[in-house]
Chains A and B, each alone.
Chain A
């Protein structure tokens, strides 16, 4: 898992499509930021630079991701 850098500023999210197992845990935590591909269930990143108010839900998505497919940086 890629622990996010501490900070309170802009969020930068990225996802590893090859690692993703399509469980959709991230969609449950942060549906404004993550979705799933209708055909494969693999993660679709809706917003790579979500507003700071999404920080808590994105951090939870990162924590719940079973395969460490989410990376978060916060400046």
Chain B
């Protein structure tokens, strides 16, 4: 057992991707040689980078590490340490402060609830595919399918009018870009918050059959939630509910086109789709920003002691390519059991909407290739536009296809 506080600085964070389909090669090297590594952050402070699956699971499941960004040592990713839009919310809280809110929301995100929403999502996908078919090739699947499906689904679940999607789609882009200044992030968040505050007011007047109305009636009215707290929760659900799944749909399709043998396997046997979705989540983990934690008490990870007051960065992308857990990890293999992957993170903060997202991904992929059996890229693969590396969610900005 060694004490990491004496270790030399290994590298700077963040490292850049060298190949769009693979996580940063530098983190793969650290995973092999220095699974617990001291890195230097853009702010000038140090943090501890964790890259192996077993260690990522251990730190994210450990109550001695805090998700609260106001705790000493919390590793901010930006040059300037400024409070994120999530500061003070249940996503940046521990223990009961986190669970109190999470349990108010879980009802609408259970595995059964996701299954019950499936026919509605299938109908949404059918309408998108009808539209694509009517307009004829070529089509941009990011614009015509990847964004509309999760946006429509979360709008219906929350009770947000889909016509208003510009407000949250445009501002979300600014919020998740690491190049945005603190002022830009605050302004983008403020715009969505103002919209949602107005919407909550309308739900108070005339509640409907939707999640925001339920929270207004069951939690806001009796005083279990404050108004600002409720509006922030709505923001988290709306932003978390569309951009992530949309990004994964686009990137997943791109990966399938780039691996025609794997696509052929699922086309021939649609029962493989759930396994293929797990494998795409593992192989193409979109959340490339590491999960941040502040160490509250000394902990030992892979034989190294990390001291209280230090910051930990758990890298999900690299954990999902750990050869100890997934043999030949860089190979996309839709027949492997990838269910231990951590694309939705791990520990008490694991993504609330994972069952809904998994269902949406399966319905979209399966319906698309059933409708258009000859679907293929309409441009050379190298011309598919990649998102700038500064965006916290790795993905593509367009996917032109023909059939």
Contact = CB atoms under 8 A, between A and B. Distances in A.
9 contacts: A1-B61, A22-B102, A22-B106, A23-B350, A24-B355, A36-B112, A38-B110, A41-B107, A67-B348
Contacts of B106: 22, 36, 40-42
Contact of B103 (A22, A35, A38, A66): A22
A41 B103 contact: yes
Contacts of B346: 66
A71 to B, nearest CB: 15
A49 interface: no
Nearest to A26: B111
B195 interface: no
B339 A64 contact: yes
Contacts of A68: 61
Contacts of A22: 102-103, 106, 110
A21 B102 contact: yes
A35 B61 CA distance: 22
Contacts of B349: 21
Classify chain B: how many residues form its interface, as a range: 20 to 34
Interface in A1-46: 1, 21-25, 27-29, 35-36, 38-42
B250 to A, nearest CB: 25
Given A21-B350, A67-B348, A36 B103 contact: no
B347 interface: yes
B109 interface: yes
A47 interface: no
A73 B102 CA distance: 30
B354 interface: yes
Contacts of A23: 350-352, 354
A23 B358 CA distance: 13
Contacts of B354: 23
B385 interface: no
B110 A67 contact: no
A29 B337 CA distance: 12
B99 A36 contact: no
Between B106, B107, B348, B351, the greatest number of chain A beta carbons within 10 A of the residue's beta carbon is seen for: B106
A39 B107 contact: yes
A36 B349 CA distance: 17
Nearest to A24: B111
Nearest to A60: B339
Nearest to B347: A66
Interface string B107-150: 10111100000000000000000000000000000000000000
A28 B111 contact: yes
Nearest first, the 5 A-B pairs at minimum CB distance are A41-B106, A22-B106, A24-B111, A27-B111, A66-B350
B355 A28 contact: yes
A2 B111 CA distance: 24
A16 to B, nearest CB: 12
Contact of B340 (A36, A64, A67): A64
A66 B110 contact: no
Contacts of B340: 63-64
B61 A67 contact: yes
A29 B339 CA distance: 9
Between A29, A42, A63, A66, the greatest number of chain B beta carbons within 10 A of the residue's beta carbon is seen for: A66
Interface string A51-66: 0000000001001101
Given A22-B106, A25-B350, A66-B348, 15 more contacts: A21-B99, A21-B102, A22-B103, A22-B110, A23-B351, A24-B111, A28-B355, A36-B111, A38-B110, A38-B112, A41-B103, A42-B106, A64-B339, A64-B340, A66-B350
Contacts of A28: 111, 355
B352 to A, nearest CB: 8
A41 B102 CA distance: 9
Contacts of B355: 24, 28
A29 B355 CA distance: 12
Contact of A21 (B111, B112, B339, B348): B348
Contacts of B61: 1, 66-68
Nearest to B105: A41
Contacts of A24: 110-111, 355
Between A23, A27, A42, the greatest number of chain B beta carbons within 10 A of the residue's beta carbon is seen for: A23
Contacts of B107: 38-41
A55 B312 CA distance: 35
Nearest to B341: A64
